[in-house]
Each structure stands twice: as C-alpha cells, then as structure tokens.
Chain A
Amino acid sequence: EAGVAQSPRYKIIEKRQSVAFWCNPISGHATLYWYQQILGQGPKLLIQFQNNGVVDDSQLPKDRFSAERLKGVDSTLKIQPAKLEDSAVYLCASSPGLAGPSSTDTQYFGPGTRLTVL
C-alpha cells in the first residue's frame, strides 16, 4: 500500500513570496490533515478535511494560509505572502475517517515539506 505522498520535499523562498505544497493521501482515506511543525516542537494541526469539506481550521492563519481538497482526494496548502515565522516542516496526514465516540482512527503521515523563509 502506497503511503502519503508530499511534494516538494524542500522549498526555500524569500519573505512576501508565495508557496504551495501538494499532498496525495492514502487511497480511500476520507480524512486529510495539514500540520505545521516548527523546529523543536510537536506538530500542530492547521486544517482537517473530511472528504472535500473542512472539519477544523481553527488554527489556520486565514489571512495568509489557504487549503483546498478538490474532489476529496489530493490537497494543496498555500501561503501568500510568506513570513519568516512560517519556516517549518509542513506535514500531511490521512486517515480512513472512521473515528467516533466509541471508535478510533489512525493517522498516517507523509515525509513532510521543509520550508525555509529568508
């Protein structure tokens, strides 16, 4: 079974530029997540999709970050314009989408995209 794919693996941009990241989840997984991981910290959830609908984007800086999941499969995360503090690893994860009050779901992560903003 293929894992979660992400591209690019590395990106260096200057502040105020735009950047986009792409994620292809595990086939059949209904739920897709984007996390931001700053050096030395654990991942922080930015946005969560269930199929092509947004479930949680409470920690997404909406003035500069946007994300979409067209057709409920692939997803892109965009930053426009980038700031120095956006330097981080951006992780994509997917899960079958089976979680409920008495059931659980396991998230599978991609390798991440390391963004450096100069």
Chain B
Amino acid sequence: DAKTTQPPSMDCAEGRAANLPCNHSTISGNEYVYWYRQIHSQGPQYIIHGLKNNETNEMASLIITEDRKSSTLILPHATLRDTAVYYCIVRAEYNFNKFYFGSGTKLNVKP
C-alpha cells in the first residue's frame, strides 16, 4: 500500500550533495511527507518532514514541489556515514499516525 515511488539505489561522492527524489502523486491536501533513513541493523531514524513549504534542519533540506506531487531530500555534504536506505513516507488519510513505508532508496556514498 506504499503511496510513494523512489529509485531503488543511488550513488553519491563523499562531500557532494545527495539529492534523493520521491514521487507521491496521489497525496492529498493534509498529508505530510516524512523522510526517514535506516542504517544497516538499526531502526529507522527520523530526518525531516513537511507539508507545503520547503524545510531545513541540521540534517537535511526537503524541497516539495508546488503541486506537492513530488519532493526531494537533500543531504548537502554527504559523508560515508550517510550510506543508508532512505524512505519517503506519506501518512494515511484516515489514520494520521499510520505510515506507509515503500522499499526506499539505498544511497551509497563513495570515497
């Protein structure tokens, strides 16, 4: 029941910006977009979330298109420790706490 589409894998050079795309074309007006990442053998870690406006925190930036049908997570200076699976998630319309996880994007940061 995943409501998002992400590329299965991406490569990024260490020190460069990593731009991870996500399509959520069926998103409705009050559905937030969340990004989590999962480093090997750990639980998912919260990164950032947004509704309409672009958001930035100490970990990343989130760019949401005006029509809200897609978004991009930006890691401004990727390090080897950023190698992980990144999940773009929208919450359920009828259960505001319910997350649908897709298969995510495996980001490989290379030296």
A34 to chain B, nearest CB (A): 12
User: What residues on A are CB-neighbors of B102 within 8 Å?
Assistant: 42
Contact among B2, B44, B98, B103 with A109 in the assembled complex (CB-CB below 8 Å): B44
| Chain B count of residues within 8 A CB distance of the other chain | 23
User: What residues on B are CB-neighbors of A102 within 8 Å?
Assistant: 30
> With A42-B104, A106-B49 known to touch, is A100 a contact of B43 (CB < 8 Å)?
no
Look across to chain A and name the residue whose beta carbon is closest to the beta carbon of B93: A101
B5 to chain A, nearest CB (A): 13
> With A42-B87, A93-B43 known to touch, is A48 a contact of B98 (CB < 8 Å)?
yes
User: What residues on A are CB-neighbors of B96 within 8 Å?
Assistant: 99-101, 103-105
B86 to chain A, nearest CB (A): 11
Q: How many A-B residue pairs have CB under 8 A?
A: 62
Q: Which of B2, B30, B44, B96 has the most CB of A within 10 A?
A: B44
Are B98 and A45 in touch, CB under 8 angstroms? Answer: yes
| Proximity string of chain B (97-111) to chain A, C-beta cutoff 8 Å, 1 when within and 0 when not | 111011110000000
Q: How far is the CA of A106 from the CA of B46 in the complex (A)?
A: 8
Q: How far is the CA of A111 from the CA of B43 in the complex (A)?
A: 5
User: What residues on A are CB-neighbors of B98 within 8 Å?
Assistant: 45, 48, 56
Contact among B30, B45, B97, B103 with A42 in the assembled complex (CB-CB below 8 Å): B103
Interface residues in chain A, defined as those with a beta carbon under 8 Å from any beta carbon in chain B: 4, 31, 33, 35, 40-45, 48, 50, 55-56, 91, 93, 95, 97, 99-112
